[in-house]
Each structure stands twice: as structure tokens, then as C-alpha cells.
Amino acid sequence: MVEFMEKVAKTVDSEELTVEERNLLSVAYKNVIGARRASWRIISSIEQKEESRGNEDRVTLIKDYRGKIEVELTKICDGILKLLDSHLVPSSTAPESKVFYLKMKGDYYRYLAEFKSGTERKDAAENTMVAYKAAQAFDEAISELDSLSEESYKDSTLIMQLLRDNLTLWTSDISEDAAEEMKDAPKGESGDGQ
């Protein structure tokens, strides 16, 4: 379902996804990521128990398996984050869609922060906060629009559109900077905690 919804999202250039399509995309990714997150938590718990028992052979096997789960988690998160930055956030015109996608972006950075370590964890946590704060600010601004006079409403709507455009630019810049840093990082600094 994820692959199908990715194709739907990528075909939308000038129009945004419908509410139903947006929800299907979200559910598809939640199901895929949820299973991996649960697996990661279980295997991490087993790893701690085996370490406390001194079973080094089992710990080695468990760490290898945990690493595979982390690769899958990273691939899933990177996939939806790329889709959000390249297609969904830029094409969203409805404020509700923008808030939805920014919150979704925060969620997937949070999922990365759950298992990453070092600089990767710090970056994911910072990106989580940026996305959540942007979504919250945008949502609060939308809720205030109803109480404005017509002239103020027009001015505020224009400002909101400019903010939306800036958020789109900033989030794509952040993603590009992170990709550039990863490309320039020395090969030994994977930050996967192994």
C-alpha cells in the first residue's frame, strides 16, 4: 500500500491530495513503521536482558538483527520525509494539509530519533521540534483567522501564504543541508551505535 500511495502522491504536482488520499498515505506508513518500531523495542529489550546475563554470543546476533531493523526504519522514514519535502508540503494549498504534513514530518523525525545515536539523533530531534513548532504555529494562526475583520483577514491570509512559502523553502533547505552533511561525512561516522 505504501508503494501505491507514494505513486499517487508523486503524480500530484499542481493539486494536493484529497483528505481521503492523505489519510490513506498516513495509515499506510503508520502500519509499516509501527511494526518495525515494535520489533525494534522488543529486540532492544531482549538485547538488554541478554547483556545482563552475559550471553555475548546472543548479544552479537541480536545486535546484528537490531541493525537490520534500524536500516529498514531509516529507509521508511527517509522515504516519507523525502516525499513530504519534494511533493506533499510544496503542493499543499489548504492550511489543514500543511499542518497535517508538518506534523507527519515531525513524527517521522521523532521515529528516527528513537533509535539513532550521536549527531544523527541530535539532528533528528531538532528537525522534529522544527516541524512540530511550524505545524503548531500554522495551526494557531489558522484558528485566529475566523475572528478577524475582512481587511485583516485578507492581510493575514497573505502573510500566512508567505509563511507557508518560507516554511517550504526552509524545510527543503534543511533536508538538502542534511543530505550534503551525510555525503561529506567520513565513512566511519555512521552513528548507528554499533
Give pLDDT, residue 187: 47
Statement: residue 193 has pLDDT above 60? no
pLDDT at residue 72 in the model: 97
The closest alpha carbon to 97, from 176, 186, 31, 26, belongs to 26
pLDDT at 31: 93
Q: With 60 as the cut, is the pLDDT of residue 33 above it?
A: yes
Closest CA to 112 of 101, 100, 127: 127
pLDDT in tens, 42-88: 999 999 999 999 999 999 999 999 999 999 999 999 999 999 988 88
Model confidence, pTM: 0.69
Query: Given this model, what pLDDT does residue 51 score?
Result: 96
Radius of gyration of the chain (CA): 20
Cell of 95: 492550511
- Tell me the helix, strand and coil percentages in the chain, rounded to 5: 85, 0, 15
2-184 has which fold?
Delta-Endotoxin; domain 1 (1.20.190)
Residue 54 falls in which region: left (phi positive, over 0), alpha (psi -120 to 50) or beta: left
For 93, residues 6+ apart whose C-beta sits below 8 A from its C-beta are 16
Which positions ≥6 away from 16 have C-beta within 8 Å?
22, 88, 91, 92, 93, 94, 97
CB crowding 129-144: b at 16 or more within 10 Å, else e: ebbbebbeebbebbee
Count of residues in the chain = 194
Per-residue pLDDT for 129 more than 90?
no
